Amino acid sequence: MHKSQLGQSVIQDLQSVEPVVENILLRYENDLARCDEVNVRASIAGDQNTPLETLAGLAADPVGIVRQKVALNVSCPVALLEVLSSDTDRWVREAVACHALCPVDLLERLIADQDIMVRMSAIAHPNVSGSMLETLFEQGAPDLRRAMASNPNCTPATLHRLASEPNPSTRLDVIAHTNTPVLLLLQLACFDSYQHARDQSRDKLETMEQTKWKESVSAGLSLSNAMECSVNPDAVISPGLNLGDTLINSGLTNIYQAIQQAELEVKVNQLGNGGPVEQLPSTAVKMRM
């Protein structure tokens, strides 16, 4: 027999055997899924290669940890997530709320769950939009606000409002958020009542790229901006105090110098481009944060 014919014959034999092997493996998986050992069933439930038929059976397992593993499985289909979202075990429902494929309509239901941890996991999910977060803030859900601050879609407007939350952990999440405006970070670095929050804001500002400072200056940031505070109602600001004075008084000289350098670079760029040098904001212009 010619080599090519022999090769085709082997391939055909393998193709004819493949369905048989798959059936054997499926029966083996199903047998293991009925094993008395919870750890074995949980391991199968969490394996992304477990057949959907087996996952569906494990979704009805009497032990919660097994059902939780199904809900956490990256291969778990939305139809099974829908079923598990009504599970009596809150750990299972929380796992559904954390699943990357969890749809928005299911998240909306879980945001109203009776368990706080399920609600927080759902509201922090990246499938929850910024506009939905704003609506939830308006509806008044103080127990969910820290989770809002950790959602990657949280808008600058919502972060502004969360920055004055009494829970310092919420404010720390605001500081860590990628959407938090520079002006808001400056306020928190100068006026937050919690030392750790001030330190975290300072660290983030001090490690910020100079290009980001130049963008902020081009958008209106200036050391001569009048200073005001919305993050701490107890903060006392002397009349006429500007951003530069506030940074110096707060010991934030590195940040002062970064802004000063950015202002000079923006002026030089304007001169180099042959255009008029824009007047930097005077102390009469308030610094909106």
Q: Determine the pLDDT at residue 30.
A: 57
Q: Is residue 74 part of a domain?
A: yes
Which residues lie closer than 8 Å to 98 by C-beta, 6 or more apart? 72, 121, 125
**Residue 238 scores a pLDDT above 90:** no
Q: Write down the pLDDT at residue 243.
A: 95
Residue for token pair 């409002």: 161
Give, as one character, the DSSP assignment of residue 204.
H
Instruction: Please tell me the distance from the alpha carbon of residue 163 to that of residue 189, in angstroms, as a whole number.
Output: 12
Domain harbouring 89, CATH code: 1.25.10.10
3-state SS class at 226: strand
**Is residue 109 assigned to a domain?**
yes
Name the token pair of 167: 């829970």
In this prediction, residue 61 carries a pLDDT of 93
Please report the pLDDT score of residue 289 as a whole number: 40
Same domain, 110 and 203: no
Lowest pLDDT segment from 29-38, 108-117, 152-161: 29-38
* Per-residue pLDDT at 119 exceeds 80: yes
**Residue labelled with tokens 């950790």:** 150
What confidence tier does 102 reach under pLDDT thresholds 50, 70, 90? very high
Q: What's residue 138's pLDDT?
A: 84
C-alpha span between 228 and 212 (Å, rounded):
22
pLDDT of residue 215: 95
Instruction: Give the count of domains, the chain.
Output: 2
Alpha helices in 124-225 (DSSP H): 130-139, 145-149, 156-162, 168-176, 182-191, 195-206, 210-218
Token pair for 201 = 């804001």
- Is pLDDT at 19 greater than 80 in this prediction? no
The predicted-structure confidence for 172-212, as pLDDT tens digits, reads as follows: 999 999 999 999 999 999 999 999 999 999 999 999 999 99
Half-sphere exposure of residue 238: CA atoms within 13 angstroms, side-chain side: 7
Report the chain's mean pLDDT, rounded to a whole number. 85
If asked whether residues 186 and 110 sit together in one domain, one would say: no
* Residue reference for tokens 């941890």: 117
Q: What's the pLDDT band for 272 if we cut at 50, 70, 90? A: confident
- Interacting residues of 214 by C-beta distance below 8 A, sequence separation 6+: 262, 265, 266
Q: Work out the end-to-end distance of the chain between its first and last CA atoms, rounded to an integer number of angstroms.
A: 82
Q: Are 154 and 135 in contact (CB under 8 A)?
A: no
Q: Does residue 135 form part of some domain?
A: no
Range of the domain at 238: 181-289
- Which of residues 110, 128, 146 is at a domain's end? 128
